[in-house]
Amino acid sequence: MTTTSTPSNDRKAFYDAIRQQHMTPLWEVLHALVPQQPATPCAAALWKYDQVRPYLMQAGQLITAEEAVRRVLILENPALPGQSCITQSLYAGLQLILPGEVAPSHRHTQSALRFIVEGQGAYTAVDGERASMRPGDFIITPSWTWHDHGHEGTLEAGEPVVWLDGLDIPMLRFFDAGFAENHAQQSQPLTRAEGTSYQRYGANMLPVRYDAPFGQTSPIFSYPYERTRDALHALERQAPVDDWDGVKLRYVNPATGGSPMPTMATFMQRLPAGFSGRPYRQTDGAVFSVVEGDGSVMVERDGQQQTFDFSARDHFVIPSWHTARLSSAQGCVLFSFSDRPVHQALGIHKEERLS
């Protein structure tokens, strides 16, 4: 009796055979590998600060900054549990430092940003220079630079300081390029007065013999909120308001005009009172920190809509190719960061501004 094979049986036998050679057929996975449009597994999410802050304060009672090295609660994307990331390429967390503490000095290949959320009295030191931390300030830790954080306040009079950490940890993990090193001292020696980097590079001028101290990263590592806020409010009064973004500015590397860091772009925007934005979507996923005011964001993907109502110090993420629409009745200011520089460098960045 002759057994007649079927195409499905033949294919299964073939697949089983080539699997032994560590091969697999492209035609079975082609549509997943090259989809019709971006298909991120990430979900849009909101973290209400008044709900997460008690856990930060509890962490301050359970572990010291020195013991933890960095006392941070990671903002973990709900669709990617256990992966320590807010999007597939970006990491975000809320870091707490208490009066009298020092988070010890180390360095790593990952680039980092700090966006100050709450409190005063703390500082960060980068490559021998200190920068005081105030709410709304944007501070950079360039790749492979020594950095430590401290709080010079007293337990009796000082207040906790919290900031948003943004890093390219998942991106460097993809490239297997993550390295770190601890400093021999808890706090690095200071070699320059505070503000030196801004005086040298922040007045639309550069030293005659510019040496790019941090490679592709901005030579300014502290961008005070006071200057940014003034610019946003002046533009709101004097210039047209964009129908999608309100008044939105991007931080720049003054030496190149590009992003402050090679892997992350940073932005600050003002939504005027009564703003009702038009929808947009972009391939770079973005993480937002609410600086002032309140508003809402409508996020849509595959016909499913969510609306997040946010207020000052809240955080939210809009993943890649999710349609977003921002609005604010009373007006607000939003800080955000994304992996846009990498998209642009690879020539794959796309944005749609919908009507």
Mean pLDDT by 10 residues, the chain (355 residues): 69 96 96 92 98 98 94 98 97 97 95 97 96 97 96 81 98 95 94 94 91 93 96 97 98 96 98 98 98 98 96 98 98 98 97 96
Quote the CA–CA distance of 326 and 328 in Å, as a whole number.
7
pLDDT the model gives residue 158: 77
Closest CA to 136 of 309, 292, 326: 292
Tokens at 235, concatenated = 């533009």
Q: Determine the 3-state secondary structure of 353 from DSSP.
A: strand
* 192 Cβ neighbours under 8 A, 6+ residues apart: 128, 129
Backbone angles phi, psi at 59, to 5 degrees: -60, -35
Q: Are 291 and 340 in contact (CB under 8 A)?
A: no
* 93 Cβ neighbours under 8 A, 6+ residues apart: 72, 73, 74, 75, 164, 165
Question: Is beta strand 280-282 parallel, antiparallel or unpaired with respect to 275-276?
Answer: unpaired
pLDDT the model gives residue 319: 98
Sheet holding 286-293: strands in order across?
45-47, 315-318, 286-293, 332-338, 265-271, 247-250
Q: Is 103 exposed, middle or buried (0-12, 13-18, 19+ CB in 10 A)?
A: buried
Residue with tokens 């430092």, as numbered in its chain: 97
Query: Which domains are seen in the chain, by residue range?
Result: 44-353 (2.60.120.10)
Q: How far is CA 83 from CA 19, 41, 173, 218, in A?
A: 28, 12, 11, 29
* 45 Cβ neighbours under 8 A, 6+ residues apart: 77, 78, 316, 317
